[in-house]
């Protein structure tokens, strides 16, 4: 089973679409994506393992539920 191919169209028909089929001549059969991306892309980068460890050391105790359920 292949992964679902998605694309974003700009212009008059702007939105998120799913590729249903690629025809032999290269044209695509698309339909609106029933599960469009909820989050918009952000600029930035992922933390390195060292940066994440530093973040947890500084703020980890504040990340648990205040009632001690965690």
Q: Where are the domains of the chain?
A: 1-34
**Is the sign of the CA dihedral 21, 25, 27, 29 positive or negative?**
negative
Residues 1-27 have a mean pLDDT of: 91
Dump pLDDT digits (tens) for 35-66: 877 766 677 788 899 999 999 899 887 877 76
Cβ pair 53, 60 in contact under 8 A:
no
> Does this model's pTM top 0.75?
no
Instruction: Please state, in angstroms and as integers, the Cα–Cα distance from residue 29 to each residue in 5, 8, 36, following that order.
Output: 11, 14, 17
- HSE-up (13 A, CA, CB side) for residue 20: 6
């Amino acid at each position: 089973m292949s992964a679902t191919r998605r694309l974003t169209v700009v212009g008059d028909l702007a939105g998120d679409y799913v590729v249903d089929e690629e025809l032999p001549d290269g044209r695509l059969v698309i339909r609106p994506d029933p599960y469009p991306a909820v989050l918009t892309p952000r600029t930035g980068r992922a933390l390195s393992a060292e940066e994440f460890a530093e973040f947890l050391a500084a703020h980890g105790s504040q990340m648990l539920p205040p009632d001690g359920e965690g």
